[in-house]
Amino acid sequence: MDKIARHFDLELLNTLLVIAESGSLSAAAPKLCRSQSAVSEQVRKLEEMCGLPLLVRGKTGASLTPAGRRLVDHARELLARSDAAYRDMQGVQLAGDLRLAITDYFRPSALPGILRRVRDQFPRLHLHVSIRKSALIEEEAAALGDFDIGLSMAIWIKAAPEIEPPGRTPDCVASA
Partner 1 sequence: MPGDGVLPLVVLPNTCSLQRFIVAKLNAHRVHFKIAHSASGVGGLHLALAAGLGVTCLNTSSVPESAVAFTGIPRLPPLPEVEFRLAPPRTGETAVISEVTDMLAEQFS
Where do contacts with partner 1 occur on this chain (CB under 8 A)?
Answer: 92, 94, 96, 98, 100, 103-108, 110, 114, 117-118, 121-122, 125, 131, 133-135, 137-138, 141, 144, 147-158, 160, 165-176
C-beta of 3: minimal distance to partner 1 in Å?
44
- Do residues 12 and 46 lie in contact, with contact meaning Cβ atoms separated by under 8 Å? yes
The Cα 78–Cα 82 span in angstroms is 6
Choice between 21 and 139, CB closer to partner 1: 139
Nearer to partner 1, 40 or 103 (CB): 103
- Of 49 and 137, nearer to partner 1 (C-beta) is 137
Nearer to partner 1, 8 or 106 (CB): 106
CA dist 17 and 100 (Å) reads 46
Q: Where are the alpha helices (DSSP H) in 6-110?
A: 10-22, 25-32, 36-50, 66-92
Shortest Å, Cβ 82 to partner 1: 23
CB of 86 to partner 1, least distance (A): 18
| Rg over CA atoms, the chain | 30
User: Is-contact 28 35, C-beta < 8 A?
Assistant: no
State the minimum distance, in angstroms, from the CB of residue 85 to partner 1.
Answer: 18
Distance CA 7, CA 9 (A): 6
Question: What torsion do the CA atoms of 24, 29, 32, 33 make, to the nearest 10 degrees?
Answer: -170
Q: Supply the minimum distance, in Å, between the C-beta of residue 100 and partner 1.
A: 7
Between residues 45 and 133, which has the closer beta carbon with respect to partner 1?
Answer: 133
